[in-house]
Amino acid sequence: MERVSHFINGFMIDASERVADIFNPSTGAVTRHVGLASQDTVKLAIDAASAAFPAWRNTPPAKRAQVMFRFKGLLEANEERIAQLISEEHGKTLEDAAGELKRGIENVEYACSAPEILKGEYNRNVGPNIDAWSDFQPIGVVAGITPFNFPAMVPLWMFPLAIVCGNTFILKPSERDPSSTTLIAKLLHEAGLPKGVLNVVHGDKQAVDALIDAPEVRALSFVGSTPIAEYIYTEGTKRGKRVQALGGAKNHAVIMPDADLDNAANALMGAAYGSCGERCMAISVAVCVGDQVADALITKLRPLIDTLKVGPGTQNGLDMGPLVTKAHLNKVVGYIEQGVAAGAELVVDGRGIEIPGHPNGFFVGACLFDHVKVEHSIYTDEIFGPVLCVVRVSDLSEAMKLINDHEYGNGTCIFTRDGESARRFCDEIEVGMVGVNVPLPVPVAYHSFGGWKRSLFGDLHAYGPDGVRFYTKRKAITQRWPKAKVQEVSQFAFPSN
């Protein structure tokens, strides 16, 4: 059976180590194995990145950008192949996988502007014959730990920008669906990246801890669940590393009485059930202002849910595929059972869905709950599955308090035609990414992605301008050339201009 190997110093390394199964979620069958890195294997990657750093940091930004231009072309040329691998191991539909890759390529395009984004700032004559400037310099060896739900896009949030900033990179992708990530790394080397600048190690907590412990690794980027984000942030910063750790979410959509309900319902379908709900920006709570709005929304959602096409992700023309693993399927079903037991009304029950020819796939259909209360676990917790909860409130103030009181603050949106309500919502909501009639307000590559509260640990968001700041250190230089043969006197007062 095929084994997914580590990619270190430009070579595939199939070390004799522990292995994990990779499943096809549509069939439930093991299709590949992946080696789980030991501390020694992680050290090989660190050594390769450390050795490559001096030459790479001194490579002109324009030449780094040229590698990214070629990389972008290779990603586009291999879109179908990458999407197929994502769908085979994650379960998301081919169309969704292709969309994920396209959003990742946007970050490669942003990285192609390295000569512009790395320009320093210069001032002449800040004092008598004194010039000052700032310079953006790379950190060194940096690492990224990425989740299963976006095996192409999230790594592309990290390493292209880190690399064009002059760093070398070690990527630890999810061991659940590593094949597409490994292929993407190989394509970057095909584009002309020197050996050792990007390395990929597969593994579990042992590999993560090795990266945290290594003094050579100067910064860590992470996307995943909040408990692990907090662990990596705490342990990484304790060791003096720069850390950005993006955690969980519970994203609310506020439906106002003046909203276009047909468009809102259609938007919620994709935002709640796309990728089987396995998105950190998925809308999992619809906050309806008034019972009339809630009743009307549910009336519109029910027939739309009935039309959802669910099946193996590798088939074209589907809306939803399976969940990623059997364990995650059981977790999602467990939350549905908790919601029923707590007294929420299960309007649409997706449990027990049967997909012809795929009896062992990890499938659950779309679920819709009404009359959900804030104390219910289906409201408080991130389910990460196709479960949409309807919460009823009396006005916008109550809706906003509900959102602001939640521990997560990743994304949110409001559906309204009233500019005053929208402006107030954008100003006062305590969430990092906000949409107005936009259900998935994922920022474009030249902005930055990140939530508030327990959805982000660290001061800087991912990619975009914040990504440049995260992967560089600012150095301020003040320079003066005294006139020759002019005797100067000592100055004891603090200098000023």
Tell me the per-residue pLDDT of 358-384, one tens digit each, with 9 for 90 and over: 999 999 999 999 999 999 999 999 999
> Does some domain include residue 493?
no
CA-CA distance, 352 to 355, in Å (whole number)?
Answer: 10
Residues 142 and 276 in one domain: no
Residues 69 and 183 in one domain: yes
pLDDT value at residue 129: 85
The total number of structural domains that make up the chain? 2
8-state DSSP, 492: -
pLDDT value at residue 424: 98
Residues 192 and 295 in one domain: no
pLDDT value at residue 493: 86
Q: pLDDT for 279-337, tens place per residue?
A: 999 999 999 999 999 999 999 999 999 999 999 999 999 999 999 999 999 999 999 99
- Coil vs helix vs strand at 252: strand
More confident residue, 197 or 480: 197
Q: Is residue 16 over pLDDT 70?
A: no
Q: Is residue 496 over pLDDT 80?
A: no
Q: Is residue 15 over pLDDT 80?
A: no
pLDDT band at 492 (very low <50, low <70, confident <90, very high): confident
Percent of the chain with pLDDT over 90: 94
pLDDT value at residue 495: 78
In 67-167, the DSSP E strands lie at 121-127, 130-138, 141-145
Do β-strands 472-480 and 130-138 pair in parallel, antiparallel, or remain unpaired?
Answer: antiparallel
Residues 300 and 216 in one domain: no
CATH number of domain containing 322: 3.40.309.10
> Does some domain include residue 485?
no
Residues 264 and 153 in one domain: no
- pTM here is 0.95
Residues 213 and 118 in one domain: yes
* Closest CA relative to residue 353, chosen from 276, 423, 422: 276
- pLDDT, average across residues 39-60: 97
Q: pLDDT for 409-463, tens place per residue?
A: 999 999 999 999 999 999 999 999 999 999 999 999 999 999 999 999 999 999 9
Residues 164 and 262 in one domain: no
Residues 209 and 331 in one domain: no
* Closest CA relative to residue 49, chosen from 199, 202, 184: 199
pLDDT value at residue 490: 83
Residues 242 and 277 in one domain: no
> Does some domain include residue 450?
no
CATH number of domain containing 161: 3.40.605.10
The radius of gyration computed from the CA coordinates of the chain, to the nearest angstrom, equals 25
Domain that holds residue 26: 3-247+455-477
Element (H or E) spanning 421, and its range? helix 419-428
* Closest CA relative to residue 50, chosen from 197, 185, 152: 197
- The residues that are catalytic are 280
pLDDT band at 489 (very low <50, low <70, confident <90, very high): confident
CA-CA distance, 69 to 409, in Å (whole number)?
Answer: 35
Residues 260 and 227 in one domain: no
Residues 298 and 340 in one domain: yes
CA-CA distance, 362 to 364, in Å (whole number)?
Answer: 7
- pLDDT, average across residues 183-202: 98
Last residue of one domain, picked from the residues 407, 436, 465: 436
